[in-house]
Each structure stands twice: as C-alpha cells, then as structure tokens.
Amino acid sequence: MLDPLRLLGVATASDRGQLNRWFVDEGQPNPAVLFAELNRQATPPFPTPDEAAIIAGLTLSTGKICVRPSEEKIRNDVLDAQVVAVACWDDKTPTPVYFYRYADPQRLAKDVGSGGARSCETNPPGFLGTARYSKPSGATGVLTCFTTESKVSVLVWSDDRTGVLAATAVPANPAKQAELIAWWTANVN
C-alpha cells in the first residue's frame, strides 16, 4: 500500500460506460510517473542510503520502479520489527513486491520460523504451505504461501544472505497463484 492521500486525480465524461471503459483500458496511472511523483514528495527524500542498498541488491529486472511503502503497510506486514522497507515493480512482476530488511537477524528468524514440510514451490492445494527453499544461486530461506479471508493469495519469503523478508500478493484464483509461483521460481534468486 502506498500513501493514498499523496496524489488525487479526477476524470469526467458524459457517459458513465465510456468513463468506465477508459479507466479499465487506459486510465490506470503509469507506475513510473506515479512513483516519480511520490518519490519527489517523500520526506526524507527517497531513496535513503539504506533504501538504495536494498534496491541495489534486488534481482528484479533493470526496469524496476521503487517507492517507500506507507508506515501503515510496514506496520501491518512486520508489526514492530525495526526494518528498512521498499516496494518495487518491474516488467515481470505481477504485483508490487515489498522488501523489508530487518535490523535484527534473530527477529527475522523468529518472524519467518523454520519452515514446515509443505513447499509452496509446488503450488500446494489451497495455496497453503511453508518450507525452507534453496536456489541454485545459493539463496536460502523460508517460503510461505497462504490465502487470506479477503481472498488474496500471499507469497512471503526470506533471504538468509541479506536479512530481507519479501512479500507479494495476487487475487485468490488458481491461475494467478500458478503465475505467482512461476514468477518467483524464475525471478527470485
């Protein structure tokens, strides 16, 4: 979640159907323009050196666009953990990915747990699982997947090398869940 009160736009049309078609087909704001404006207004200026370090370490494609998440989003995701946070998209990312670098590695380990036996890498039934993962790049951590009561499928993973917890979400349907797992498999290293 970004700070929704930072930007406001108004669109009008004489035909409600035409306005709806415009919004669905082309009315969504360009993320690069939106983020540039949000970052221009950020206090302190975005990115700070700590935020820039997280962005520099990401394995997302070169087209990545990043912004600072709202305080509310950070609090909802990591409660009272001391973190540096960024939210990024790229040309391959299905939805924003939120990255949280923990100041305390022990707190990160406590928050993610040790993993279980049901791997999300196989897109488990019910999109429910948690297990340790290991990538050919050497990345290791815990990968967790679940669906919320509000029908959102969430994928959360930690990276033992960087002390970062990452999370992204898609609408809860099998096709979107499969796309999310395929994206994670191909792009998270």
Domain hosting 65: range is: 42-187
With respect to residue 15, please indicate whether it lies within any of the assigned structural domains: no
Label residue 97 by pLDDT band (50, 70, 90).
Answer: very high
**pTM of the entire predicted model:** 0.82
With respect to residue 30, please indicate whether it lies within any of the assigned structural domains: no
With respect to residue 29, please indicate whether it lies within any of the assigned structural domains: no
With respect to residue 6, please indicate whether it lies within any of the assigned structural domains: no
User: For 11-62, what is each residue's pLDDT tens digit?
Assistant: 667 777 666 666 556 656 666 777 788 888 888 999 999 999 999 888 765 5
**Sheet hosting strand 152-159, strand order edge to edge:** 65-67, 83-89, 97-102, 164-171, 152-159, 140-147, 129-134, 117-118
At residue 98, φ and ψ (nearest 5 deg) are -100, 130
With respect to residue 17, please indicate whether it lies within any of the assigned structural domains: no
What is the chain's Cα-based Rg? 18
